[in-house]
Structure 1
Amino acid sequence: MRSQILLHQPESEKIIKYSLNNSIPATEELYERLTNKGFYFLRNHKVNNYTFDFYCPALKIAIEIDGYAHEFSEVYSQDAPKKLHINSLGITVLRFTDYQILVDIEEIFRALKHEIKISNQNSYVV
């Protein structure tokens, strides 16, 4: 009988691989649904040094899809300066997980419509 060597993969690597494998279908699903519902969002759009998964310049709303990798402290720490800078530009960032997109995409559209309503109430013409 031959012995098998099983390599133990660290838990964080498993989570990151799962996230990467599922983020692409989630991104495609969200883009397709945004387009079908008449929303105009640019994909992988860069504003200054930051790239958003989806960005609507007219509304100044960005959508970020967070995989499980964002739950690690080092990734979260890297996002903190980005949040401060983006807020200073007047951009609202809506964050969703790939799991939310695949399981309850209608909740994402409710949040998006709510944010559009709020931004329209806060805008004014001079």
Structure 2
Amino acid sequence: MVSTSIRRAAAKRLRANTTPHERILWRALKDIPVAGTHFRRQAPIGTYVVDFFCPARHLIIELDGGHHNDDENARRDRERQLWLEQEGYRVIRFWNSEVRQNLNAVLERIYVELHGSREAEVELMKHRRRR
């Protein structure tokens, strides 16, 4: 198991070197009404560092570039997602091109994942630490 300090350092390094698509989504996530909680970016979970994480909903958002198309990366992504889901997290994935070309659709999907539907009222979310 990788030590906590190493995972935190890796996450910090990734935050300092975000992709343009991650920066676009990060700015846009601040406009989604999520009363009482927030998203974290480049958050360490287990042995992984996820792109975006909403602790109150156990929701993980991953952005994938073209390199995720090759067989080896796709296999690692599936293994990683399976582990995260077994730990109780929901994982949604978007291609970088979706963020660039249709950000509103991406944000709408995230809103639905957070609140249950497009018409749902925003509710106060509580972050509960896992023990």
Q: Deviations over 1:58-110 (max 9, x none)?
A: 11001100000000001011112212211111111110011100110111111
Name 1:37's counterpart in structure 2. Answer: 32
Matched residue type, 2:109: A
Structure in which a larger fraction of residues adopt helix:
1
Aligned mates of 2:30, 2:78 — CA distance in 1:
30
SS of the equivalent of 1:90 reads coil
Q: What runs of 5+ residues in structure 1 fail to find an aligned partner?
A: 1-22, 121-126
TM-score, with normalisation over the residues of structure 1? 0.71
Which of 1 and 2 has greater Rg? 1
| Count of residue correspondences | 98
Name 1:106's counterpart in structure 2. Answer: 104
Flag the structure with more relative contact order, 1 or 2, with Cα contacts below 8 A and sequence separation at least 6: 2
* Percent pairwise identity: 26
Q: What runs of 5+ residues in structure 2 fail to find an aligned partner?
A: 1-17, 118-124, 126-131
Report the alpha carbon displacement of residue 49 of structure 1 after superposing the two structures with TM: 0.6
